[in-house]
Amino acid sequence: MEWEDLAKELSQATDSKIVLLVLDGVGGLPVDGRSELEAARKPNLDGLAKRAVCGLSDPVFMGITPGSGPAHLALFGYDPLKYQLGRGILEALGSGVEVGRNDLVARGNFATLRAGLISDRRAGRIPTGENVRICGFLNERLPKRDGVEVKVFPGKEHRFVARFTAEGLSDELTDADPQKEGRPRLPANPVVPGAAKAAAVVNRFLDDLTDVLRTEPKANTALLRGFSKFPSIPTMPELFNLRPAAIANYPMYKGLAKLLGMTVLDVGSEASELFDALEKNYKDHDFFYVHYKKTDSAGEDGKFEAKVAAIEALDTFIPRLTALNPDVLVVTSDHSTPALLCGHSWHPNPFLLVSRTAGVDDVAAFTERACAKGMLGRFRALYAMPLMLAHALKLKKYGA
């Protein structure tokens, strides 16, 4: 019996509230002896640690650096080695594109073709308005072929999502992207024989698109990556008997949340808006995923001081969170993003849990080194969900 089966059998709806605050990429590495969390002045987060049990969690297992998809899946109680979500589906869902069971989606870049070679993989980062115009034009002019419906959806700058609707379109395709400039266009290739139809559909679409856009000065072709079907994944209401809400600004996190059956509450990019939405919707849900992005962005950019500042900025909002007095409050991250590495890393996430049923350990600061001495020890992030459900008294006893 696996955790998911157990979850279905044991979880029960109750009125108790769980808040999972994800400080994206917050875990870091020392620079001049102190990590970002150690350098930040964050009295409220440290105050939470003093009232909490703490630990370190591994998104997948030791040494594995996860993308945002697997890292979040683990936090939401899904084994990231069992469910693999294509980047295309996450981008599509995050952009508000409806995706159904017969849809194949991919992330697109408008690009520039000169003398048969890709001279700019991002079409000079055309303005978003241009992108909207071009997508409208394409949706009007692209020829219909063999009953396959194709639609493109504009994103920011040069980015778009392509959606192909037909029976039997496999997503087992290689990217239609030469990866480097100065190379010719590259078709999508089927990875399995059953994907031949999808490859033909996709490649004809790219040819048609390049033909329709031949007079555009910059965006005169496109690249497609991350072909994905709608994944077969049970929702959080099905698995955990939750009425979950996601409070997030970035498309990918909203898309993933929607996929898992969360209600996505729209918020802007300011931290204050996360807490506005939490307060406003607090009575309507029993699980809140609150996503703070700035820690990760700063880490990705290698900006140690900016990451420290992002932590300090977030810290000032913690009193609004504790004022709600949720039955279970967890602060952690999906993965670490040390400024030192300018990207995601395999380091475990500091984790704190406050609950009436959790007790308190000796950890007095929300940092990597302090949490390593916490009572929760080191554990797979997959177990965060059973732990949260248990402390919310939402899990019945297993066996007699």
Beta bridge pairs of residue 23 = 292
- Give CA–CA dist 128/105, Å, rounded: 20
Q: Which amino acid is at 213?
A: L
Residue from 270, 279, 305, 362 touching its own copies (CB under 8 A): that is 362
Query: Between residues 220 and 349, which has the closer beta carbon with respect to its own copies?
Result: 349
Q: Residue 221 interacts with its own copies (CB under 8 A)? A: no
Shortest CB 52 distance to its own copies, Å = 13
Query: Between residues 193 and 399, which has the closer beta carbon with respect to its own copies?
Result: 399
The token duo for 380 is 């797979």
285, 326, 383 from 13: Cα distances, Å? 11, 16, 19
Burial class (CB in 10 A: 0-12, 13-18, 19+), 96: middle
Burial class (CB in 10 A: 0-12, 13-18, 19+), 167: exposed
> Which listed range, 191-199, 202-210, 235-243, 362-370, lies at the site for its own copies (CB under 8 A)?
362-370
Please count the other Cβ atoms lying within 10 Å of the Cβ belonging to residue 84: 12
- Give CA–CA dist 273/247, Å, rounded: 9
User: Helices in 103-228 by DSSP H: which ranges?
Assistant: 128-141, 196-212
Q: Residue 70 interacts with its own copies (CB under 8 A)? A: yes
CA atoms lying within 13 Å on the CB side of residue 235 = 14
Altogether, the residues listed in the chain come to a count of 400
Query: Between residues 168 and 377, which has the closer beta carbon with respect to its own copies?
Result: 377
The token duo for 161 is 């999502």
- Give CA–CA dist 245/397, Å, rounded: 26
Q: Residue 266 interacts with its own copies (CB under 8 A)? A: no
Query: Between residues 89 and 213, which has the closer beta carbon with respect to its own copies?
Result: 89
The token duo for 222 is 């496109």
Shortest CB 379 distance to its own copies, Å = 6
Looking only at residues 23 through 62 of this chain, which bind its own copies when binding is defined by CB under 8 A?
29-30, 35, 56, 60-62
Write each residue from 73 to 112 as x if it is in contact with its own copies (CB under 8 A), else as -, in one continuous string.
-------xxx-xx-x--xx---------------------
Q: Residue 388 interacts with its own copies (CB under 8 A)? A: yes
Residue 125's contacts (CB-CB under 8 Å, 6 or more residues apart) are 157, 158
Query: Between residues 218 and 293, which has the closer beta carbon with respect to its own copies?
Result: 293
Beta bridge pairs of residue 353 = 53, 330
Query: Between residues 82 and 214, which has the closer beta carbon with respect to its own copies?
Result: 82
CA atoms lying within 13 Å on the CB side of residue 167 = 1
H/E stretch holding 321 reads helix 318-322
Shortest CB 133 distance to its own copies, Å = 28
Query: Between residues 65 and 189, which has the closer beta carbon with respect to its own copies?
Result: 65
Looking only at residues 325 through 354 of this chain, which bind its own copies when binding is defined by CB under 8 A?
338, 340-341, 343-347
Q: Residue 10 interacts with its own copies (CB under 8 A)? A: yes
Cβ(115)–Cβ(126) below 8 Å: no
> Which listed range, 182-190, 261-269, 299-307, 357-365, lies at the site for its own copies (CB under 8 A)?
357-365
> Which listed range, 193-201, 273-281, 313-321, 386-394, lies at the site for its own copies (CB under 8 A)?
386-394
> Which listed range, 268-276, 281-289, 296-304, 367-375, lies at the site for its own copies (CB under 8 A)?
367-375
Q: Residue 184 interacts with its own copies (CB under 8 A)? A: no
Residue from 125, 197, 303, 373 touching its own copies (CB under 8 A): that is 373
Residue from 69, 244, 251, 350 touching its own copies (CB under 8 A): that is 69
The tokens 């952009």 sit on which residue? 95
- Give CA–CA dist 335/241, Å, rounded: 26
- Give CA–CA dist 63/25, Å, rounded: 16
Query: Between residues 3 and 250, which has the closer beta carbon with respect to its own copies?
Result: 3
Query: Between residues 185 and 394, which has the closer beta carbon with respect to its own copies?
Result: 394
Query: Between residues 89 and 173, which has the closer beta carbon with respect to its own copies?
Result: 89
159-165 and 103-114: which strand pairing? antiparallel
Q: Residue 188 interacts with its own copies (CB under 8 A)? A: no
Binding site for its own copies (CB under 8 A): 1-3, 6, 10, 29-30, 35, 56, 60-70, 80-82, 84-85, 87, 90-91, 338, 340-341, 343-347, 357, 359-362, 368-369, 372-379, 383, 385-391, 395-400
